[in-house]
Chain A
Amino acid sequence: MLDTQKPPRKKWWTPPFDPRFPNQNQTRNCYQNFLDYQRCVKTMSRRGKNSEPCEYYFRVYTSLCPTSWVQHWNEQIKDGTFAGKI
């Protein structure tokens, strides 16, 4: 799951309440944070900046998403068949 990522060394908290996803179904929350992390890393590296602010999204999606989903998506990104817009 964490393949190339090491967990950030700071304290790992529970994802805070996100008012965009107030109900029981948190699927979209997981997916949105995954997308946000990928987009954040892509933009930061394109601008040559440190991608440390992106670690927030990484921590949230790691807490929320089933690991099999994350593995699946990362494979798809590597193959270029990921369907989300990054």
Chain B
Amino acid sequence: MALPLRPLSRGLASAAKEGHGGTGARTWRLLTFVLALPSVALCTLNAYLHSGHRPRPEFIAYPHLRIRTKRFPWGDGNHTLFHNSHVNPLPTGYESS
């Protein structure tokens, strides 16, 4: 289900920025290295810590999901374009992963 809440959730990238002195390139270079790139690094760290194999949800053949009214124009017409056999079931169930 939802990711367990970890203290390491980062909202820095959306932190409000106060008005700054000048609009020169120096300012933005400073902001890039001091604010933007560290935020990217922290978000990467957060994603890495939350990664890893989780138990995949059991398959229930809900009729409102995995609808096939018309075959897909590619392949066997039953697989989505970025089908991942480990996490994406077909309308009849998971392929043996």
Could you list which residues of chain A lie within 8 angstroms of chain B, going by C-beta atoms? 76, 79-81, 83
Contact = CB atoms under 8 A, between A and B. Distances in A.
Nearest to A75: B63
Contacts, number: 10
A80 B58 CA distance: 13
A83 B61 CA distance: 10
A67 B61 CA distance: 23
Contacts of B61: 79, 81
A83 to B, nearest CB: 6
Nearest to B61: A81
Nearest to A79: B61
Interface string B47-67: 000000000000011111000
Contacts of A79: 61
Interface string B61-91: 1111000000000000000000000000000
Contacts of B63: 76, 81, 83
10 contacts: A76-B63, A79-B61, A80-B60, A81-B60, A81-B61, A81-B62, A81-B63, A83-B62, A83-B63, A83-B64
A81 B60 CA distance: 6
Contacts of B60: 80-81
A76 B60 CA distance: 11
Contacts of B64: 83
Contacts of B62: 81, 83
B72 to A, nearest CB: 23
A20 B32 CA distance: 53
A83 B64 CA distance: 8
A17 to B, nearest CB: 31
